[in-house]
Structure 1
């Protein structure tokens, strides 16, 4: 269906549950492989729709650990989105069809499509769904959704780095939208926060993460179904954050120091570089050789406080 872009007949859909008793015999590895194939297909939305609405996603497969077989739920977290009402001022579709629309607007990449599929996974949950001033709200669905994302992708056996990246996208998609819509928001402060979070190993990895987040958020805008929706501001802000991330060192290896700093620091190289990293991340000094040398020289010349 997802590959050839067609929908099954009603008879086929009605007959599917009769074969669900076979699903528990499938290995987790096989199921994960099939999910990956589905997520990269051209008509991914149709495949996901059948997977969820047939209730196949609520079945379990199996994994053997230490000689003991265990049941692993596939994707039961998704079904509650079906027919989930959303605030009409912002969304034309229910929670599930909005999700499918967002997935459809992403390119065939596993990180992007899982991020799109799970970006609103926590909407409608009792901990976040509320009615405020007559409007439906899901405040905090980004944070809870990130927790749910980490749980379900870990359960499905995805690598930790992949799980963390998708969860990061889910956690930050609403903040990203806020920054796009509020020009006075301090994007450099956000960059510094992420740089110090320990989430990224270097600036280049953080740059890629911003690009991925902006693509999912652009798909989110289009997936709301509103006419004349524009992603220009979303993509432009993503480019801005990607560029800023290259100016923001994550690790001491990202500092543009030269041999003068090494000679000056002597046996305290590690301590000195950590100091310079903090100074650059906090915007006190630029990440330039002369500025780094002068800052360390000034620090080492200061009298030690007793």
Structure 2
């Protein structure tokens, strides 16, 4: 059943009273039928753009999209996008139609849409209009292009990533023709802006079925992030890892909360491993320096994807410090808190936890091996729980672990004769001493400790 907000009812009534057809369309209809509350509503109408403006003359409007028939109307504080029925012209840039022509037919409007589950319409009474079999696909959990898949994806290559995103978020299976077309046309993604790719891929990796979708469409992922391709099938030759680097990456991602920066860090955390791989005389694989290498590679990737400075910095911090696990001692935890900060600390330990939980797909056919694998994972998870507990104790007791917590500051050091970079060096020296337990966080004792060094 579809329950419309009052703003949508008002839009329906005003258009209907003026003699125009109008229907709710797109994701709001799909989500309503799935029992979800839509975040926004779109209406398709037989009214032309100037007629939409006249119908809603007493309302605030945003007409940026009027060239393509869309007028955003603000009703009771809600923005409703109202678009004239239309047919799209030729897409020459694999993203936008060169021109649109307006139509009097809802069917014309529906047939230009991307996927059948997004091509459903509903009238003011909630009656569903389905020209493309969208209801059957919705009930079956299938994502299928409207009409010919190659046509839809060549029109707008971003639909390739939108399909992956919907499959990830909704847990849907992508229909075979659509799947083949996505893979065949993946190179068209080079024509899409980095910002749009970043946004869609970010939503994809945060979906409930992200790992399944990324694995199934790893060839598409490689078009966007070719650096990841080296992790595909990369055997680690290490007793602590029974999975390839890519398989491990997907397992780690699936064990992380759907927080964008955390999921991005999970996706990229071991991207430096292939470049750092060595084997010892026993044939055991090692990856010394892979975290730092991963930071270097990931910085280029995130810059290319136009990720924000704040997000990039957070993701790179998580990659840099995801290994090794710190000891649960007060000293070790304080040092890590100092390095990464409070906001990043618990994201980091979650990534560490996921990293260890994703080392194996447990071998149920070998009971001894299964028991040992589980024991190692449980030991690491238990250790990280103690690390988290220690951090919470430090935070609750307001222990000193950062420069701002020190009972001495730069002004105090200037009075003692320190200048320039020597001030920062002295503060760092004192903080290290407090964290290691050499001296109490008391101004007089700190000054005395500093004088001994001089």
- Bigger Rg, which one: 2
The structure-2 alpha-carbon separation of the partners of 1:84 and 1:13, relative to structure 1 and needing over 3 Å to count, comes to: farther
Unaligned ranges ≥5, structure 1:
60-73, 201-205
d(CA) in 1 for partners of 2:413, 2:181 = 75
TM-aligned CA deviation for residue 138 of structure 1: 2.2
Within the candidate set 215, 220, 223, 2:355 is matched to 220
The corresponding residue for 1:104 is 254
The structure-2 alpha-carbon separation of the partners of 1:104 and 1:134, relative to structure 1 and needing over 3 Å to count, comes to: same
d(CA) in 2 for partners of 1:145, 1:279 = 32
Q: Which structure carries more relative contact order (alpha carbon 8 Å, separation 6+)?
A: 1
Within the candidate set 161, 171, 174, 1:5 is matched to 171
d(CA) in 2 for partners of 1:223, 1:298 = 46
Within the candidate set 432, 436, 453, 1:281 is matched to 432
1:76-87 → structure 2 map (5 Å cutoff): 76-87=226-237
Q: For 2:354, what is the secondary structure of its paired residue?
A: helix
Within the candidate set 56, 59, 66, 2:220 is matched to 56
d(CA) in 2 for partners of 1:264, 1:102 = 46
TM-aligned CA deviation for residue 99 of structure 1: 0.8
1:210-259, Cα deviation, whole Å (9 max, x unpaired): 211110011111111245331121222244356557634433x333469x
TM-score calculated relative to the size of structure 1: 0.72
The corresponding residue for 2:311 is 162
d(CA) in 1 for partners of 2:237, 2:412 = 61
Is the 1:215–1:235 contact (alpha carbons within 8 Å) kept by the matching residues of 2? no
Q: For 2:286, what is the secondary structure of its paired residue?
A: strand
Is the 1:92–1:224 contact (alpha carbons within 8 Å) kept by the matching residues of 2? yes
The corresponding residue for 2:331 is 188
Q: For 1:83, what is the secondary structure of its paired residue?
A: coil
Unaligned ranges ≥5, structure 2:
1-166, 363-369
Is the 1:192–1:248 contact (alpha carbons within 8 Å) kept by the matching residues of 2? no
The corresponding residue for 1:69 is none
The structure-2 alpha-carbon separation of the partners of 1:130 and 1:244, relative to structure 1 and needing over 3 Å to count, comes to: farther
The corresponding residue for 2:402 is 250
Q: How many residues align?
A: 265
TM-aligned CA deviation for residue 155 of structure 1: 1.9
TM-aligned CA deviation for residue 39 of structure 1: 2.2
1:25-174 → structure 2 map (5 Å cutoff): 25-52=191-218, 55-59=219-223, 74-87=224-237, 89-125=239-275, 127-174=276-323
The corresponding residue for 1:203 is none
RMSD over equivalenced CA pairs, Å: 3.5
